[in-house]
């Protein structure tokens, strides 16, 4: 049988999602906890891999298990074997045709940036930070130029393994909430470091180093070397994964965190 899981995690202490030999990843911790409940090793597949230091409020994963357990066991039982920084929010038996990655229609990422002269302490590791004033209007204008089917080579990490740099960005929004600037991006798929590289470019626009039209010039150049440096992973959240209604998954949008502007 196949089970789907909704997972949230604080990625600060982990070397990303994907399993590694040293075992310090979200996938490794989740698989160890699932093994405790299933009584046998299970492999999990996620909707979108996240890098070291990146968080998730709405990751989706699936696993095939030879044993039946109550859905509550896949939630409360698994959580009892997970570190405090990872939690399964829901679990559901799904048809074998469901695939956490390939069945996903789109993925959403949110970046939360504190824009203040002094770095935050209580939110360290949970938000990005930039000390100079930023023009949100200019950043919003630049973000609009990112929307659509484009070649995002200028925002692609050198180690990216995607077959093509052409992706369709459905949403790119920027807004201010007090001292925070919130970036929302939604696409069918993203390139490695694509969101952090877009945020870095928009910060350059916001601080006045370039006009909003520079974003279009970067896209046309297809040259990563002309763009801004990759921004910090700390404020980045996988905030939603969209699936067809036929899978009947629980609502898997941006979960509210009381200390961050993470609500839709």
* Backbone phi, psi, residue 81, to 5°: -110, 10
Q: Where are the alpha helices (DSSP H) in 18-107?
A: 26-38, 71-72, 78-79
- Is 51 a known active-site residue? yes
Token digits of residue 126: 């949970």
Tokens 């929004």: give the residue. 173
- Of the listed 10, 28, 51, 184, which one is catalytic? 51
- Cα 125 to Cα 105: distance, rounded to the nearest angstrom: 29
How far from chain centre, in Å, is Cα 163?
20
- Cα 204 to Cα 239: distance, rounded to the nearest angstrom: 24
- Cα 182 to Cα 173: distance, rounded to the nearest angstrom: 8
Terminal C-alpha separation, the chain: 33
Q: Output the CA–CA distances (angstroms, integers) from residue 263 to 32, 102, 209, 224, 240, in the order listed.
A: 31, 26, 31, 32, 11
Which residues form the catalytic set?
51
């Amino acid at each position: 049988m196949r089970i789907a899981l909704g997972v949230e995690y604080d990625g600060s202490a982990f070397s990303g999602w994907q399993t590694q030999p040293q075992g310090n990843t979200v996938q490794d911790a989740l698989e160890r906890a699932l093994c405790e409940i299933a009584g046998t090793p299970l492999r999990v597949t996620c909707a979108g891999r996240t890098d070291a230091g990146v968080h998730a409020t709405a990751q989706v994963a699936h696993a095939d298990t030879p044993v039946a357990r109550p859905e509550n066991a896949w939630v409360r039982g698994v959580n009892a074997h997970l570190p405090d920084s990872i939690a399964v929010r829901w679990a559901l038996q799904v048809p074998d045709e469901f695939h956490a990655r390939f069945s996903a229609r789109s993925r959403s990422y949110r970046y939360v940036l504190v824009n203040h002269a002094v770095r935050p302490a209580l939110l360290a590791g949970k938000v990005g930070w930039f000390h100079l004033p930023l023009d949100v209007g200019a950043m919003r204008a630049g973000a609009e130029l990112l929307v659509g089917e484009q070649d995002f080579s200028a925002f692609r990490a050198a180690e990216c393994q995607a077959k093509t740099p052409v992706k369709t960005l459905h949403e790119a929004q920027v807004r201010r909430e007090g001292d925070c600037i919130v970036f929302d991006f939604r696409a069918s798929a993203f390139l490695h470091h694509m969101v952090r590289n877009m945020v870095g470019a928009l910060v350059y626009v916001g601080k006045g180093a370039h006009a909003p039209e520079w974003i279009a010039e970067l896209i046309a150049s297809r040259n990563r070397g002309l763009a801004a440096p990759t921004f910090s992973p700390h404020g980045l959240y996988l905030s939603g994964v969209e699936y067809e209604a036929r899978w009947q998954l629980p609502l898997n949008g941006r979960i509210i965190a009381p200390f961050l502007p993470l609500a839709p």
